[in-house]
Amino acid sequence: MLLKRSWPSWFVPAVVFYSFVTDSLVYQRKKQRINEDILKLPPVFGRPKAPAGTWGSCIRIIDPVQATTVGVVQLDNNEAAFSIAVVPFSAKGGEPHLVVGTGQDTLLSPRSCTSGFLRTYSFTNEGTGLELLHKTETDDVPLAVMAFQGRLVAGVGKALRIYDMGKKKLLRKVENKVCCLSTF
């Protein structure tokens, strides 16, 4: 018994077109000489890849109305930015500061870094520029930062810490060691 199947109207022409193009390309390849320069392609295509543990990060200030870049702050010494927050420190009268959590010489697998930093910036030129106030060293990468009651809460490694603004660096006020593992 023969089963009759109904196909959409576009199915048959698409198959015929594909076979026609394929046959045409095969015919052209036989007819033309192969360009040897195309066969000698470099082993890597696209942008060059950096070795493991090499980072390039920046903090970009964008004007959302004009959709333009207003300022850029490059991170040096092989630092990578992992977290960012605007924190109104009560020690500075509620003035907002930008806190960026970075890691230096960070490897993702196995997870390691030379040191982590909490970079604290103040806004200048009506929010179009940044001025580095201080750079506080941590023992691991700060993967999460946020404002909390006029202070900074940072997730650093397996610890949850509260920092307050100091004159030369952020001051660690409280630390709670968390038992669960980080999902970095």
Q: Is residue 76 part of a domain?
A: yes
Q: What is the tens place of the pLDDT at every residue in 104-162?
A: 998 888 888 899 999 999 999 988 899 999 999 999 999 999 999 999 999 998 899 99
Q: Is residue 182 part of a domain?
A: no
- What is the percent of the chain with per-residue pLDDT over 90, rounded to a whole number? 48
pLDDT for the residue numbered 56: 84
Q: What's the pLDDT band for 23 if we cut at 50, 70, 90?
A: very low
Q: Is residue 7 part of a domain?
A: no
Full domain range(s) for residue 64: 59-177
Q: What is the tens place of the pLDDT at every residue in 59-90?
A: 999 988 888 999 899 998 899 999 999 999 99
Q: How many domains does the chain have?
A: 1
Q: Is residue 24 part of a domain?
A: no
Q: Is residue 49 part of a domain?
A: no
pLDDT for the residue numbered 115: 94
Q: What is the tens place of the pLDDT at every residue in 30-54?
A: 555 666 666 666 666 566 677 777 8
Strands (E) in the chain, as ranges, are 58-63, 68-74, 79-89, 95-104, 115-124, 129-138, 142-148, 151-156, 159-164, 171-177
pLDDT for the residue numbered 44: 61
CA dihedral 76→79→84→86, nearest 10 degrees, is -30
Q: Is residue 37 part of a domain?
A: no
Predicted TM-score (pTM) of the model is 0.71
CA distance 73 to 167: 22
Q: Is residue 13 part of a domain?
A: no
124, 132 contact by CB (below 8 A)? no
Residue 101's CATH number: 2.130.10.10
Q: Is residue 25 part of a domain?
A: no
